[in-house]
A and B are shown apart, each in its own frame.
Chain A
Amino acid sequence: MSESHGPLKKTPLNAVEKELGGKMVDFGGWELPVQYSGILEEHEAVRTKAGVFDVSHMGEITVKGPQALEFLQKTTSNDVSQLTDGRAQYTGLLYPNGTFVDDIIIYRIAEHEYFIVVNASNADKDLAWFRSQQEILDVAVVNESANWAQLAIQGPDAEKKLQPLTDIHLSKIKYYRFERGNVDHAPAIVSRTGYTGEDGFEVYIAPDHAPKLMKKLVHEGVKPCGLGARDTLRLEAKMALYGNDIDDTTTPIQADLAWIVKLDKGAFNGHDVLAKEKADGPPRKLVGFELLDRGIARHGFKIVEGGKEIGVVTSGTHSPTLKKSIGLAYLPLDKSAQGSEFTIDIRGKEARARVVPTPFYKRAK
């Protein structure tokens, strides 16, 4: 992720972030703030009040045309036919072997028009993959990334803080639904979605309007938050991070995301592999763990047994909410049951860990 060539790409909020004291880092070729006041403080703000994240680096792709539904049904694992206008769906964009090209959110704008949000680092790859899958289907795949800035306003006070700035009735938007309207007098898409495990919204707006909106939110007491808090928040909520927990070697079944695999919808890329994994059990499974010994198990640390590597840690951190050392790891299926204990090699020292129920954190409804 940290390897990049040439100058860093900047989001429309770059200058505002520097003005607000953001500590800028290279994130997959983008210059973004890892933190402002501190990860723990920002994390706490989102869990108890409200925080705002710049996620303008995310990619946006539209798929349009009479065969758009058929096209998305074939390329993704969830059932796109369940969407109606104004609904969004988390799903996997898959290779024919069932592994992830990316994890994405599909918004249905209209019957023949879908708005797709993809990971920044995968945007070019996703676009090329979609186009390679077009064949004779009557669809247009368009990269809209440059036309959209994205702000995530997250936390129990998110609705209260955002409502005065928009003509959309936010309380009417249910989870994973969206509305189009004006935010800060500019056309926007607002969805009740997020990557923190809290209530909140994601606002898509023209790049020119984003800096003013960010400043207004901060002025209203919404805490500016960086990538550091975004990572601790999403991990507590057990939301997968592409490149860490899922990638082109892992399937949704292995990643414990069976709920985004709808085998009954008909043929799609990876269908048969996933059907077999679902029936026979996958060779490995992504589990949540707590460390029983001191330390933090981070991405790439090996899980060992009798001198052999039997699994790998994909994400790990100190949980600011639980005040515990938590993480995600791939374990062989027969060792992945809740309560199972295993050993992680932490820089040459062996630390014990236990499989625990996930998500680690679930907000009170």
Chain B
Amino acid sequence: MSSSIPEDNRYAKSHEYAHAEGDVAMVGITEYAQKELGDVVMVELPAVGTQIDANEEMGTIESVKAVSDLFAPVSGEVIEINEALTEKPDLVNTDPYGDGWLVKIRMSDPSELDELMGADEYDEYIEAESAK
């Protein structure tokens, strides 16, 4: 069902992805997650400079019908947040892996990426989730 899961990301069970370049991970939610949420109308993100642990709650994402917590897939310092989402939260729906990214985290332990899922594993994971 999910032909378009980018190979170069790592995926969390809570449906965030981490796209690492060097020691910086760009974090967002997956295509599957944005579809499940529906139209996103508000995103609340941590302040730049926040130290965050993997699996820690880092904000909320609100769609017309529901609110969901966002979890950090990796530990480190938040060095940038996607300011464009304040005006255009729907970027999360239209381009979750690109312009709809959420935060950039300077990783304190890049080996945490290994604990996340690869594209194939995530594909199987969401297939099982949606069969529930």
Residues of A within 8 A of B (CB): 34-35, 38-40, 228, 231-232, 294-296, 298, 317-318, 320, 347
Contacts and interface: CB of A to CB of B under 8 A. Distances in A.
A296 B62 contact: yes
A111 B126 CA distance: 58
Main SS class of interface, A? mixed
B64 A232 contact: yes
Contacts of A320: 64
A39 B44 contact: no
A232 B39 CA distance: 12
A39 B67 contact: no
Contacts of A295: 42, 44, 62
B64 A40 contact: yes
A39 B39 CA distance: 7
B39 A38 contact: yes
21 contacts: A38-B38, A38-B39, A39-B38, A39-B39, A39-B63, A40-B39, A40-B64, A228-B38, A228-B65, A231-B65, A294-B42, A294-B44, A295-B44, A295-B62, A296-B41, A296-B62, A298-B67, A317-B64, A318-B41, A318-B62, A347-B60
A347 B62 CA distance: 13
Nearest to B90: A40
Contact of A35 (B38, B42, B44, B67): B38
A160 B64 CA distance: 30
Nearest to A34: B65
Contacts of B38: 34-35, 38-39, 228
Interface in B32-77: 38-39, 41-42, 44, 60, 62-65, 67
B62 to A, nearest CB: 6
Contact of A318 (B60, B64, B93): B64
Nearest to B64: A39
A41 to B, nearest CB: 8
B39 A296 contact: no
A39 B65 contact: yes
Nearest 7 pairs of A and B residues by beta carbon: A318-B41, A39-B64, A40-B39, A228-B65, A39-B39, A38-B39, A296-B62
Contacts of B93: 38
Contacts of B62: 295-296, 318
A139 to B, nearest CB: 41
Contacts of B67: 296, 298, 347
A34 B39 CA distance: 12
A40 B94 CA distance: 13
Given A294-B44, A296-B67, 20 more contacts: A35-B65, A38-B93, A39-B38, A39-B39, A39-B64, A39-B65, A40-B64, A228-B64, A228-B65, A231-B65, A295-B42, A295-B44, A296-B41, A317-B64, A318-B41, A318-B42, A318-B62, A318-B64, A347-B60, A347-B67
A347 B67 CA distance: 11
Interface string B8-45: 00000000000000000000000000000011011010
B42 to A, nearest CB: 7
A82 to B, nearest CB: 38
Contacts of B63: 39
A35 B62 CA distance: 16
A298 B41 CA distance: 14
Contacts of B65: 34-35, 39, 228, 231
A51 B67 CA distance: 26
A290 B111 CA distance: 46
A60 B42 CA distance: 39
Give the one of B44, B63, B65 with max A CB within 10 A: B65
A28 to B, nearest CB: 16
A228 B38 CA distance: 10
A318 B64 CA distance: 6
Contacts of A298: 67
Give the one of A34, A295, A318, A347 with max B CB within 10 A: A318
